[in-house]
């Protein structure tokens, strides 16, 4: 194979109760990337559209990943990469993760599939570290594995893919305000009361069980974050109002996607999802803040090959 074009999905991380441990992949939003073998060794990012990002591979999430992979598995060819950002960086929807995971997947295809999904996740984490400051795996694992993923352990890295109930939908709003990951991390509590920790652990267990058994009521009961969301929600304008209206319209739950500012909801079925979409849109329409809306199935496949030869 000399060329591959792929779609690398946007992702929702934390999923309320699963801070830094849970992620899910979206179907309708993501990056389109191409990877082409060249005679000149090394990695070149020849084009980035849709966002103003560095093309120097040493500081670009995709470039960092590609360089690390070629160092681990040397070859007698080079790779040219193009990236079209399908959504805004800093949205809380895993923008750097889509590029990093896409690079891991695309380069692996040109190398002849020499690395496992777990190894691809480890490479993609290097891209996260280079751009966000920490090698987190929740977004990149969801993009690579698809569906819901649980980062069960970091040392050693252990990723568990969780089943997705057929009628689960995601509705999200991305207000056009900036929330820096650094700032969102700075407001987190350094210590958590044991009682709150126990509640949060129980909710993660309930959510995983609900996903396995397609128990939508259990999913709804478990989509509660009593630790991170209360500390961060003031960074997102009208968060409480959006959440309240979404729940009234029938959402199973609502929360902050990643470190924000995107607010996500999970819904059962298309009818409820459309109702929730409409009410969130109406809630934000008079707020003098630009926003984008997302309605998506959960992407159970992860990164998708669009063209190859």
DSSP string, 256-309: E-TTSS-EEEEEESHHHHHHHHHHHHHHHTTSS--EEEEEEEB-SS-SEEEEE-
Nearest to 162 by CA among 206, 125, 123, 122: 206
Nearest to 255 by CA among 19, 2, 21: 19
Nearest to 253 by CA among 226, 284, 285: 226
From the candidates 11, 32, 181, 265, give the one annotated as an active-site residue: 181
Residues with Cβ < 8 Å from 181, sequence gap 6 or more? 132, 133, 258, 259
Q: At what angle do helices 239-248 and 270-284 cross, to 10 degrees?
A: 150
Residue 283 has, within 13 A of its CA and on its CB side, a CA count of 26
DSSP string, 166-203: TTEEEEEEEES----HHHHHHTS-S---HHHHHHHHHH
128 in active site: yes
- Angle (CA) 112-118-119 rounded to 5° is 55
Helical segments of the chain, H only: 61-72, 95-110, 117-132, 138-145, 181-186, 194-213, 216-222, 229-232, 239-248, 270-284
Question: Structure tokens of 79?
Answer: 């790779």
Q: Say if strands 263-268 and 168-175 run parallel, antiparallel, or are unpaired.
A: antiparallel
Q: Contact 171/251 with Cβ under 8 angstroms?
A: yes
From the candidates 34, 36, 121, 128, give the one annotated as an active-site residue: 128
- Catalytic residue list: 128, 181
């Amino acid at each position: 194979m000399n060329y591959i074009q792929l779609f690398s999905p946007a992702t929702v991380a934390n999923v309320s109760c699963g801070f830094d441990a849970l992620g899910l992949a979206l179907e309708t939003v993501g990056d389109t990337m191409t990877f082409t073998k060249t005679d000149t060794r090394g990695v070149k990012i020849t084009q980035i559209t849709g966002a103003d990002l560095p093309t120097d591979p040493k500081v670009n999430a995709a470039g960092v990943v590609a360089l690390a992979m070629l160092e681990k598995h040397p070859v007698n060819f080079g790779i040219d990469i193009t990236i079209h950002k399908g959504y805004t960086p800093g949205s809380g929807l895993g923008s750097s993760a889509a590029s990093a995971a896409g690079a891991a997947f695309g380069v692996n295809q040109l190398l002849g599939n020499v690395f496992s999904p777990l190894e691809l996740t480890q490479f993609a984490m290097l891209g996260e570290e280079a751009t966000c400051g920490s090698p987190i795996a929740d977004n990149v694992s969801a993009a690579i594995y698809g569906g819901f993923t649980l980062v069960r352990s970091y040392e050693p890295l252990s990723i568990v893919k969780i089943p997705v109930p057929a009628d689960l939908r995601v509705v999200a709003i991305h207000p056009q305000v900036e929330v820096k990951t650094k700032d969102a991390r700075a407001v987190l509590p350094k210590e958590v009361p044991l009682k709150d920790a126990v509640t949060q652990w129980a909710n993660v267990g309930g959510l995983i069980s609900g996903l396995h058994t397609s128990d939508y009521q259990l999913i709804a009961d478990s989509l509660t974050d009593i630790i991170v969301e209360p500390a961060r929600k003031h960074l997102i304008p009208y968060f409480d109002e959006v959440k309240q209206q979404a729940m009234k319209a029938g959402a199973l739950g609502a929360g902050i996607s990643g470190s924000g500012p995107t607010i996500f909801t999970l819904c059962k079925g298309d009818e409820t999802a459309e109702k929730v979409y409409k009410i969130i849109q109406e809630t934000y329409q008079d707020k003098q803040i630009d926003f984008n809306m997302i309605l998506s199935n959960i992407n159970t496949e992860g990164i998708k090959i669009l063209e190859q030869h």
